[in-house]
């Protein structure tokens, strides 16, 4: 979520390059379309002709968590998604985020993780999701292009 503005185009190109071998009817990206890497990934999937499936952690996620400057991107991605699933939580909290991560991990054949390798502070962090994927035998492709940085 906290990529620098200059990092987003670098991450976008790295994701597109990583997805190139999956272009076609088989490309389905699953994302929570949060600000930053989640939305960049979703946009790359759509730009490559793939299908986007969105997982929202709670019923009021957009109202509660999407900042006004990200709302146009969020709305555009939501409207282009082939499927939008909303988890049965009323509030965006740690439990809802962990459940959303669980859906992401159980939905895919491969986890693309935009990650600088830093440890996370909780079970909802990228580090924790990567660790869970490894524990389950889900392949992980880490994306962190040269020049990328956190804000």
pLDDT at position 141 is 96
The CATH number of residue 108's host domain is 3.40.50.450
**Per-residue model confidence as pLDDT tens digits over 16-36:** 999 998 887 689 999 999 999
Number of domains making up the chain: 1
The residues, ordered by sequence, that sit 6+ positions from 90 with a Cβ below 8 Å of its Cβ are 58, 59, 60
H helices, E strands: number in the chain? 6, 5
Residues pairing with 114 in the sheet: 143
Residues pairing with 28 in the sheet: 51
pLDDT at position 1 is 72
Which residues of the chain, if any, have pLDDT below 50?
none
96-122 residues labelled b (16+ CB within 10 A) or e (exposed): bbbbbbebbbeebeebbbbbeeeeeee
pLDDT at position 25 is 66
Task: Give CA–CA dist 97/129, Å, rounded.
Answer: 11
User: Tokens 């994302």 label which residue?
Assistant: 31
Note whether residue 1 is domain-resident.
no
Task: Give CA–CA dist 52/29, Å, rounded.
Answer: 5
Note whether residue 124 is domain-resident.
yes
Note whether residue 148 is domain-resident.
no
Note whether residue 151 is domain-resident.
no
Domain containing residue 99: 7-143
Q: Chain centroid to CA 107: how far?
A: 13
pLDDT at position 23 is 87
């Amino acid at each position: 979520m906290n990529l620098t503005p200059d990092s987003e185009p670098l991450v976008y190109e790295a994701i597109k390059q990583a997805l190139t071998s999956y272009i076609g009817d088989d490309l389905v990206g699953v994302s929570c379309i949060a600000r930053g890497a989640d939305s960049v990934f979703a946009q790359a999937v759509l730009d490559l002709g793939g299908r986007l499936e969105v997982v929202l952690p709670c019923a009021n996620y957009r109202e509660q968590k999407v900042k006004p400057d990200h709302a146009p991107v969020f709305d555009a991605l939501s409207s282009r998604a082939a499927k939008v699933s909303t988890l049965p939580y009323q509030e965006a909290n740690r439990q809802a985020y962990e459940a959303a991560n669980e859906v992401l991990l159980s939905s895919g054949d491969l986890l693309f993780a935009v990650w600088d390798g830093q440890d996370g502070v909780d079970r909802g962090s990228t580090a924790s999701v990567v660790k869970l994927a490894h524990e389950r035998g889900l392949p992980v492709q880490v994306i962190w292009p040269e020049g990328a940085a956190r804000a």
